[in-house]
Amino acid sequence: MPATVSMTFHLRLWLETDEGFVLGPGQAELLYRIREMGSLRQAATSMNMSYRRAWGRLKRTEDKLGRELVRKLGGNKSGYQLTEFGQELLEGFLTLSREIEPIIQATAAKVFPRDIHIHASPAPGSGEKQA
């Protein structure tokens, strides 16, 4: 009998509008860090991204959505916080990723035959684990 093959199961979730990609694990991570750090600059730096690049990504996403995701804070020079919509979108994405992962793990264990071992990879967009 041949040896068991061991594989990892990966999953990527993302959202699109008619105008294309709007939110995936990377963008969710950026929003998550802005929320935690209260600063777009700090969030970008912590992800090895320039402020300019992070800002550009956010603006493109906002354009496609026709809604704002972040807003500048008054007092702090580089202070940013999520809008209510940005907060809802982020929470929805993170919750979905978290709820889907164990279901996929259980389904994979059921679906694949015994000589194929499947391990699930960490949930995508699970900012909490990486932050």
Q: Which is nearer to a copy of itself, 51 or 85 (CB)?
A: 85
Alpha carbon distances (Å) from 59 to 6, 11, 78, 82, 100: 42, 26, 16, 13, 29
Q: Is 18:129 a contact under the CB 8 Å cutoff?
A: no
Look up residue 47 and give its amino acid: M
CA 7 to chain CA mean position, Å: 23
CB of 83 to a copy of itself, least distance (A): 10
Q: At its nearest, how many Å lie between a copy of itself and the CB of residue 50?
A: 27
Question: Which positions lie near a copy of itself, rule CB under 8 A?
Answer: 2-3, 5-18, 22, 65-67, 85, 88-89, 92, 95-96, 99-100, 103-104, 107-108, 111-113, 115-116, 118, 121
Question: Per the structure block, which two tokens stand in for 92?
Answer: 């929805």
| C-beta of 41 vs 98, nearer to a copy of itself | 98
